[in-house]
């Protein structure tokens, strides 16, 4: 199985700041990577797919990058509504696997 190592586990930042969340795969996943946002008490929502493509309706302050085994999610101009947990997921190979999540809070 492909292991997904996500960091940091938690993150605290001020409004307007830029934050970056990292995800490392245990082998090359050829950009088969998605990022999800899960707000408290809600279901996950797709943000980014194919490592760098923005899902419909997602604000442009979210962006994804990376290749091979290393990927990142960047959030520009942090807003209060961005308080959530964020998960990466590889869909290059079964079983699909997720990162352990990053909890983002506002300072």
Binding residues for other proteins, per CB under 8 A?
32, 34, 36, 42-46, 49-50, 55, 87, 89, 91-101
At a CB cut-off of 8 Å and minimum separation 6, what does 84 contact? 37, 38, 39, 40, 104
Provide, rounded to whole angstroms, the least separation between the CB of residue 49 and other proteins: 4
Nearer to other proteins, 70 or 100 (CB): 100
Nearer to other proteins, 16 or 57 (CB): 57
Contact yes or no for 99/5 (Cβ under 8 A) = yes
């Amino acid at each position: 199985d492909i292991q997904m190592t996500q960091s940091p586990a938690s993150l605290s930042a001020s409004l307007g700041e830029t934050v970056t969340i990292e995800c490392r795969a245990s082998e090359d996943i050829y950009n088969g990577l998605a990022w999800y946002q899960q707000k408290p008490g809600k279901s996950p929502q797709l943000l980014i797919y194919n490592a760098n493509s923005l899902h419909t309706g997602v604000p442009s302050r979210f962006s994804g990058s990376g290749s091979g085994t290393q990927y990142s999610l960047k959030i520009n101009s942090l807003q209060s509504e961005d308080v959530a947990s964020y998960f990466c997921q590889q869909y290059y190979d079964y079983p699909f696997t997720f990162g352990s999540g990053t909890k983002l809070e506002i300072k």
